[in-house]
Structure 1
Amino acid sequence: MDMSENVVSEPKTGIEFVSILTFKHQSSSPNSQVLAGVGFKGLNIINIKTVKIYAFGFYIEAKGLVDQLSTKYRSFSLEQLKASTELFEDLLRHDLEMTVRLVVHYKGLKAGMVRSAFDTSLRNRLRKIKGEEDDDGLDIFSSYFSDSLPLTRGTTIDFQWMQGGRLRTEVNGKLIGVIYSSNFCRALFDIYIGDPPVSLRAKQEIAEKIYQLFKS
């Protein structure tokens, strides 16, 4: 994986994300994605403090985005685009290549905590998307986060939505597995750009970046 020298800092955690990711897999040509927004996942502790669990960066393959969606949205103003629920529904419906990169911030994080949190969220999103919470990809995904998986501060987890409804998961650059399920891809990414999102501020940033890409 090649990285640009330009970085963006997530303001609440200070974790930095490169502005461009370039993936090269054996079965595909090089794929570059631009950083569209950053945010963090927090956990409220008895309404006293918020523990910052991880920061995330949301990346998207710009050419595919512009080719498939710019005609529909190019005339939108920035405020119209930010207020559009249909834009994000289109992102989840179209065969666009996107990546969510997580970077662990909370040094006490355990794999079981991640597994449990994602299981609850994904079942809710699957129910919304396909009318039922079961999906072949769910058990596979949960198996990635076995108790033996170390999640020290700074651990990087990449969820890559590849063409054809494939979800490729890497931890610290090492391939963990590939899930073949368009619905599961949609459910996972709906956590970040659906309703409600993990971070509304990040979702607004993503809309702003998409607006820039449509106007460029």
Structure 2
Amino acid sequence: MGSLRFSFSFWNNNPKPPTPHSSRPFSPFAVALGITAGAATAFTLLISSKHDPLKPVPLWGSITMADNALPVTQSKNGSSFPSSILTDSLNLLGIGFRRKSIFGLKSIDVYAFGVYADNNDVKNYLAEKYGALSGSQLKGNKEFIQDVLENDISITVRLQILYGKLSIRSVRNAFEESVGTRLQKYGGSDNKELLQRFTSLFKDDIKIPSGSVIHLSRGKGHVLSISIDGQEVGSIESQLLCKSLLDLYIGDEPFDKKAKEEIELNLASHLQN
């Protein structure tokens, strides 16, 4: 069968958890996926780092900063995310999902994502202003999220591909639409060159079978770096681009609202510890 190519105008946010997949590295595209079913999006802690990520764990739990010594799994489908990546200080804040509806007839689970942040950066940039506030006070606080988006905090979005017939062209087109919309939101309409520089990193010869991992990382100096299955594909220094990309996951209209709430609570936990 050929690669799936679809217009992102068809994406919706109807909740449904994705199917099991391997815990290899993945990437972030604007491939729209639905939010997982309500409270059923609770997360389970793996009892051992040797646990098979393809086998769902029957126990339920929520992500907390105290648990970050263990891997974390979304119990509904067994999607496994490590508690930290790249460096020990990049800790998991929340897990979400994106899914695609084709003409309202069939839904396809495209990818799961995890958002990670450097706990030291979170404290250094945000503790003075928000450290005295509780998680409930920071939940839904738009100024707080804008400060997360704008400050030089190291954040990585890890995408794990669930749909095996996804083409890199679909990823590129999805980002062109979703990131392009955010670039206009924050920087006006004259950002076509910046958007083209970003989407051109997803070259046609890149393969992204099910289980592929894409890392979208904002590093120091607002440098956006992209890797696919551990291979660096390029980087761009742009505060506007970094902010626009992260807005997809933690902004006013995130791909997964439940994931954003979890991220807010765990950011607050970072500030209070």
- Could you say whether these structures have the same fold, taking a TM-score greater than 0.5 normalized by the shorter chain as the test? yes
The Cα shift of 1:32 comes to 2.7
Of the two structures, which has the highest relative contact order with CA contacts closer than 8 Å and spacing of 6 or more? Answer: 2
Q: Secondary structure at the match of 1:20?
A: coil
Deviates more, 1:6-15 or 1:75-84: 6-15
* Cα distance in 2 for residues equivalent to 1:127 and 1:13: 36
The Cα shift of 1:51 comes to 1.5
The Cα shift of 1:21 comes to 1.1
1:98 and 1:162 in contact (8 A); partners too:
yes
1:58 and 1:99 in contact (8 A); partners too:
yes
Q: Is the alpha carbon distance of 1:13 and 1:133 closer, same or farther for their aligned partners in structure 2, counting shifts above 3 Å?
A: farther
The Cα shift of 1:48 comes to 4.2
Q: Which residue of 2 aligns with 1:156?
A: 213
* Cα distance in 2 for residues equivalent to 1:96 and 1:45: 37
Structure 1 counterpart of 2:83, which letter?
S
Say whether residues 1:44 and 2:101 are aligned partners.
yes
Q: Which residue of 1 aligns with 2:74?
A: 10
Say whether residues 1:55 and 2:112 are aligned partners.
yes
2:159 and 2:213 in contact (8 A); partners too:
yes
* Cα distance in 2 for residues equivalent to 1:12 and 1:176: 32
The Cα shift of 1:140 comes to 2.3
Q: How does 1:90-169 map to 2 (within 5 A)?
A: 90-132=147-189, 134-169=191-226
* Cα distance in 2 for residues equivalent to 1:13 and 1:40: 11
Structure 2 counterpart of 1:159, which letter?
L
Structure 2 counterpart of 1:7, which letter?
P
The Cα shift of 1:132 comes to 2.0
Q: Which residue of 2 aligns with 1:28?
A: none
Deviates more, 1:149-158 or 1:71-80: 71-80
* Cα distance in 2 for residues equivalent to 1:94 and 1:78: 20
Q: Which residue of 2 aligns with 1:27?
A: none
Structure 1 counterpart of 2:255, which letter?
V
What CA RMSD, in Å, does the superposition of the two structures yield over aligned residues? 1.8
Q: Which residue of 2 aligns with 1:181?
A: 238
1:12 and 1:40 in contact (8 A); partners too:
no
Deviates more, 1:77-86 or 1:133-142: 133-142
* Cα distance in 2 for residues equivalent to 1:66 and 1:177: 29
2:132 and 2:272 in contact (8 A); partners too:
no
- Identify which of 130, 136, 139 aligns with 1:79: 136
1:166 and 1:181 in contact (8 A); partners too:
yes
* Cα distance in 1 for residues equivalent to 2:91 and 2:190: 31
* Cα distance in 2 for residues equivalent to 1:132 and 1:213: 36
- Identify which of 257, 260, 263 aligns with 1:203: 260
Gap runs ≥5 in structure 1: 24-30
Q: Is the alpha carbon distance of 1:11 and 1:86 closer, same or farther for their aligned partners in structure 2, counting shifts above 3 Å?
A: farther
Q: Secondary structure at the match of 1:83?
A: coil
1:124 and 1:133 in contact (8 A); partners too:
no
Q: Deviations over 1:78-103 (max 9, x none)?
A: 22211211111000111111000101
**TM-score of the superposition, structure 2-length normalised?**
0.71
Deviates more, 1:139-148 or 1:112-121: 139-148
The Cα shift of 1:59 comes to 0.3
1:81 and 1:211 in contact (8 A); partners too:
yes
* Cα distance in 2 for residues equivalent to 1:164 and 1:141: 17
Structure 2 counterpart of 1:117, which letter?
A
Q: Which residue of 1 aligns with 2:83?
A: 19
Say whether residues 1:88 and 2:145 are aligned partners.
yes
Gap runs ≥5 in structure 2: 1-47, 50-69
1:44 and 1:51 in contact (8 A); partners too:
yes
Q: Is the alpha carbon distance of 1:116 and 1:13 closer, same or farther for their aligned partners in structure 2, counting shifts above 3 Å?
A: farther
Q: Which residue of 2 aligns with 1:70?
A: 127
Aligned length: 206
Q: Deviations over 1:104-131 (max 9, x none)?
A: 0011111111111110001110011112
* Cα distance in 2 for residues equivalent to 1:87 and 1:44: 32
* Cα distance in 2 for residues equivalent to 1:35 and 1:47: 33
Query: Counting helix residues as a fraction of each chain, which structure ranks higher?
Result: 1
* Cα distance in 2 for residues equivalent to 1:174 and 1:109: 19
